[in-house]
A and B are shown apart, each in its own frame.
Chain A
């Protein structure tokens, strides 16, 4: 099947670094995206990896390894406002379906 698996919840303290993993079991897709969603809000785009390697955007970085069917989102210098759900997502090759991961709820503690 086509799925993107993420840990359900991650907790970290303010100022720390946290990594949210995304593993997939699909035959192929075009890159991996990351979205943030606050409770009651709409998802907003954070980062996109078209190719293997690391992409850095401010405090957020994202990594993709196609050979390992694995990606992650790295959040540095955590702030309280980073408490939200984070989703990885990808467009499947062939069927062109856009699949979102199971989502990770991040709790940032003071």
Chain B
């Protein structure tokens, strides 16, 4: 158990809908990262927050947005969903800004029908 929690574990929805994925980092970690992993693909970095502020942005679509709240939990919002958005979405946390070890949550499997 990494100490990072993600909810829900599974999510099935229809095209055009909007969903919210939630992540709680390890106690004491200030950074939260979001990744997308499509079937048999690598991990695509979406976005990083550090202590409530956006730190770095990867290949995140404009339909996707995220935020980190004062209690350091984070939410990833996916809107106008398309079939191609079906993937595993991982959240990870680390103590510092990015050179330290990242601890991954169990992931949320999103299926868009």
Contacts and interface: CB of A to CB of B under 8 A. Distances in A.
A103 B41 CA distance: 8
Contact of B104 (A33, A43, A48): A43
Contacts of B68: none
A96 B98 contact: yes
Given A42-B2, A43-B90, A99 B45 contact: yes
B42 interface: yes
Nearest to B44: A100
Contact of B48 (A31, A44, A96, A103): A96
A16 B102 CA distance: 29
A76 interface: no
A96 B104 contact: no
B43 interface: yes
Interface string B54-94: 01111000000000000000000000000000000010100
A96 B55 contact: yes
A19 to B, nearest CB: 20
Contacts of B103: 45
Contacts of B52: none
B16 to A, nearest CB: 28
Contacts of A95: 56
B25 interface: no
B43 A43 contact: yes
Interface of A: 30-31, 33, 41-45, 48, 50, 87, 89, 91, 95-103
Interface of B: 2, 33, 35, 42-45, 48, 55-58, 90, 92, 97-99, 101-107
Given A41-B106, A97-B45, A100-B42, 9 more contacts: A30-B99, A33-B101, A44-B2, A44-B104, A87-B42, A95-B56, A96-B55, A100-B35, A103-B42
20 contacts: A30-B99, A33-B101, A33-B102, A41-B106, A42-B90, A42-B104, A42-B107, A43-B43, A43-B90, A43-B102, A43-B104, A45-B101, A45-B103, A96-B48, A96-B97, A97-B45, A97-B56, A98-B45, A98-B48, A103-B42
